[in-house]
Amino acid sequence: MPVRAWFPTLIYCEPLQPRGLERLNLELADECRKLRDFDRAGRKWSEQNYPGGYTSYASMNELQRFSSTFAGLERKLLGHARAFARSLDLDLRGRTVRMTDCWVNIMPPTAAHSLHLHPLAFISGTYYVTTPKGCPGLKFEDPRLERFMAAPPPFPVHSLPVRLLSRQQFISIRYIETL
């Protein structure tokens, strides 16, 4: 029986910029720490909802609107988002690709995010500013797996190495296409 890929999951992998990434990441990491120290509401929310870590998700989730550092990151990411959209043959004529949300997560070394979807986003991604020393890499999961009723478990997932600075911070970024 022939097998065809009807619903492939495509993953875009490209360096953010050709050089100077370490400097950019240091600037972002510094701003992330300053944000955490400034964001009283975010620290309070995180105490109850993000044990051991900090997130600006519930308090300051449009960082690109008031921070020149994050606005610069947005400009770089949008070029990649548009390139990915072109590779997917998405018709963007008359539409705008924009970053709708941008927040910081500072996670303790043992933290992990569970599988989840951003249903209003046509492209969704995370930019890791820094990762812990010895971080094993990224795990990719098919978001449709929960719909596979009584399916046997998949083979073990392979992870890709992440080569960044050795800290426990990352920034979550979501894109939504506006009509």
Q: Is 167 within 8 Å of 129 (Cβ atoms)?
A: yes
Question: Which range of residues forms the domain containing residue 39?
Answer: 21-139+159-178
Q: Indicate the length of the chain as a whole number.
A: 179
Phi, psi of 130 (to 5 degrees): -145, 155
Backbone angles phi, psi at 173, to 5 degrees: -135, 135
> What is d(CA 18, CA 20) in angstroms, rounded to the nearest whole number?
7
Q: What phi, psi does 77 have (nearest 5°)?
A: -70, -35
In a domain, 3, yes or no: no
How far apart are the C-alpha atoms of 43 and 59, rounded to whole Å? 9
Q: 59 in a domain, yes or no?
A: yes
Look at 23-27, 58-62, 104-108 and tell me which has the smallest mean pLDDT: 104-108
Model confidence pLDDT, tens digit, residues 2-36: 888 777 778 888 889 999 999 999 999 999 999 99
Give SS3 for 175.
Answer: strand
Q: Residue 121 falls within a domain, yes or no?
A: yes
Residue 165 has pLDDT above 70, yes or no: no
pLDDT at 170: 39
| Residue 80, pLDDT score | 92
The answer to whether 107 and 170 have CB atoms below 8 angstroms apart is yes
Check which CATH number belongs to the domain holding 116 and give it: 2.60.120.620
In a domain, 151, yes or no: no
Question: Domain for residue 146, yes or no?
Answer: no
What residue type is assigned to position 142 of the chain? D
6 located within any domain: no
pLDDT confidence of 169, banded at 50, 70, 90? Answer: very low
96: nearest Cα among 116, 113, 118, 81: 81
What tokens were used for 41? 């509401």
Residues 6+ apart with CB under 8 A from 139: 157, 159
- d(CA 171, CA 128) in angstroms, rounded, equals 6
Q: Give the chain's domain count.
A: 1
Q: Which residue has the higher pLDDT, 1 or 168?
A: 1
Q: What is the pLDDT of residues 114-129, one digit of tens each?
A: 767 777 787 888 888 9
The verdict on residue 150 lying in a domain is no
Within a domain: residue 99?
yes
